[in-house]
Amino acid sequence: MPTKVLEISTVQDKEVGIPMYSSSPAAGFPSPGDDNIEGSLNVHDLLVKNPTSTFFVRVSGDSMEGKGIFSGDVLAVDRSLEVKSGRIVVAAVFGEMVVKELKQKDGKCFLYSANSEYAPIEVSGADDCFIWGVVVGSVRQFLV
């Protein structure tokens, strides 16, 4: 299934900081007893640089799995960033919201999936296509 936007939410001021430990856990043998707290981490500090132009979307589908975007992920999208070739964008194409990589080739614009099962979408100024913003990060839940 192509990756689509399921819901959109705006950034709200969240001042809640969660402790951030100074160690980086290895994927192998654990390091004994590291309880040093580096400071607080607010997820907004990682994902939101421009609060007035940032929004979140939840996606559905498998077309962007090759870029690490999976169904159910929440993406942070910044409307103030320059839209240019090679960036992952949220776009409205023919009335449908999609997440794709924008590529420009030979003066033409294409929206590419990161799954070879989906063909690129060629878009032009005459097409019904609007870029909503550039994807700057994502959040994934493992347990609900």
Q: Which residues are catalytic?
A: 63, 100
Do residues 54 and 33 touch, judged by C-beta distance below 8 A?
no
15-18 long-range contacts, CB within 8 A, separation 24+: 15/42, 16/42, 17/41, 17/42, 18/42
CB-based contacts of 45, cutoff 8 Å, min separation 6 = none
Count Cβ atoms below 10 Å from residue 73 Cβ, excluding itself: 20
Distance spanning both ends of the chain, measured CA to CA: 23
